[in-house]
Amino acid sequence: NAGVTQTPKFQVLKTGQSMTLQCAQDMNHEYMSWYRQDPGMGLRLIHYSVGAGITDQGEVPNGYNVSRSTTEDFPLRLLSAAPSQTSVYFCASSSPRNTEAFFGQGTRLTVV
């Protein structure tokens, strides 16, 4: 099982550029979410989805868009990158039952 796969692993963007971080899971999980992790901090929730076609905002949604057209995929879009978005991004998935989340290996994004 691949679990949760994130691409790319590393990315450098210039301020104002746009890009999409990809996330795919093969566990048929209904719930998927995106987090960012900044140095010395825990993970902060950006956006989440409880199923195909349903998304909602987390703690720090500004500057990010998401959509969920299939159960498997949950891409995160940065419309106009800013240096404050330099971070490590993690995607996670889980089932509707009261269970743990499975995380991808992360995307390290630097905005210059």
Residues found near other proteins in the complex (CB under 8 A): 4, 31, 33, 35, 40-45, 48, 50, 58-59, 90, 92, 94, 96, 98-106
Which three-class secondary structure state does DSSP give residue 107? strand
Matching residue, tokens 């404050």: 84
Within its chain, how far is the Cα of 80 from the centroid? 16
Q: How far is the CB of 94 from other proteins (least distance, A)?
A: 7
**Residue closer to other proteins (CB basis): 87 or 106:** 106
107-111 vs 10-13, strand pairing mode = parallel
Contact 24, 48 (CB under 8 A): no
**Residue closer to other proteins (CB basis): 28 or 41:** 41
**Residue closer to other proteins (CB basis): 28 or 40:** 40
Matching residue, tokens 């990158």: 81
